[in-house]
Structure 1
Amino acid sequence: MKINIICIGKIKEKYFTDAIAEYSKRLSAFCKFSIIELSEERIRSNTPNSAQINEVLQSEGKKILQKITPSDYVAAMCIEGKMLSSEGLSKLIGNVSVGGKSTIDFVIGGSYGLSDEVKIRADFRLSMSKMTFPHQMARMILSEQIYRAFEISSNGKYHK
């Protein structure tokens, strides 16, 4: 199985990159794991209007969709998505695999979220919480939860 996290922006903080690298290393026992970082669009105004935000969403959405193949299972990370327990995420990944999909793309948008086109393409909308997290932290937490999901499905000690 191949798991991708497709995300907007780069992580600058070493503590986040170190944690993600550790989970990436651990995940190599279970799947081919990769993070695909795409450039963030900038708005040159401190008070962006809805047209500027929509333009950013459209541009970032196109970049994201170019990284997704038609056969991929896509989980869009968005606040209006469904919240799952760690066991629920493990079951979702297992069901996708049994259902014949070999690639799961978890998509994390930029600071303005995800375009409607990306949300429409998604097979599942996943919410981490009703709280808002920095995108860098969300990427780290998602990496850990994917690792935990594989540990759960293999009855590993990590989850206990």
Structure 2
Amino acid sequence: MSIHVVLVHPEIHWNTGNAGRTCLATGATLHLIEPLGFSLNEREVKRAGLDYWEHVDLHVWKDWETFEAELPTLGEPWFFSTKGTQTFWDAPLGETDGTVLVFGRETGGLPPALHTKYADRFVTMPMYSPAIRSLNLSTSVAIGVYEVLRRQRGLRATS
């Protein structure tokens, strides 16, 4: 059962680095959809403290359309957004051979066209304080990936 993490137009290299660290720790594949708000050149990657970056299973895509053409081969997509109508707890994450967790950019989330096209695939994370708009991108990635791993562990135990 594979896990794919997709960051659509990420803006902050620290968040992408932390998402990469989570992917490496869990065996997930990281997909970055351009344009990126930073450069992946070696100097910037090292400055972000990503000395393990070479070990991350990383795929960089020139745009969403190119990635989307490949999406059916990767698995079932789930789009994380504060505008989701169901919590990720209530969605069947990780119950298929491949799970694709899609996250938007830090300052604007996912493009409106994706909200329209994949409306039934959008999930949200509960936030109980009205003083907060959203969770940090890399925190959200870690929560999503580990929830999928937790569920897959349960599926393997019952099969």
Could you say if the C-alpha distance between residues 37 and 151 of structure 1 is closer, same or farther in structure 2, counting changes exceeding 3 Å?
same
Distance 1:40 1:117 in 2: 19
Any stretches of 5+ residues in structure 1 without a counterpart? 25-32, 43-61
Alpha-carbon RMSD across the aligned residues, in angstroms, is 3.0
The structure showing larger relative contact order (alpha-carbon pairs under 8 Å, at least 6 residues apart) is 1
User: Structure 1 residue aligned with 2:141, among 139, 142, 154?
Assistant: 139
Deviation of the 1:41 alpha carbon: 4.5
In structure 2, the partner of 1:120 is 116
Q: TM-score, normalised by structure 1?
A: 0.59
In structure 1, the partner of 2:100 is 105
Q: TM-score, normalised by structure 2?
A: 0.59
Distance 2:152 2:78 in 1: 16
Name the % identity: 11
Distance 1:104 1:22 in 2: 17
Could you say if the C-alpha distance between residues 41 and 16 of structure 1 is closer, same or farther in structure 2, counting changes exceeding 3 Å?
closer
Q: Which amino acid aligns with 1:109?
A: G
3-state SS, counterpart of residue 3 of structure 2: strand
Q: Is the 8 A contact 2:78 2:93 kept in 1?
A: no
In structure 1, the partner of 2:154 is 152
Q: Is the 8 A contact 1:6 1:64 kept in 2?
A: no
Q: Is the 8 A contact 1:5 1:106 kept in 2?
A: yes
Q: Is the 8 A contact 1:68 1:105 kept in 2?
A: no
Q: Is the 8 A contact 1:5 1:35 kept in 2?
A: yes
The reply on whether 1:84 has 2:88 as its aligned counterpart is yes
Q: Is the 8 A contact 2:3 2:145 kept in 1?
A: no
3-state SS, counterpart of residue 36 of structure 2: coil
Distance 2:5 2:77 in 1: 10
Any stretches of 5+ residues in structure 2 without a counterpart? 39-61
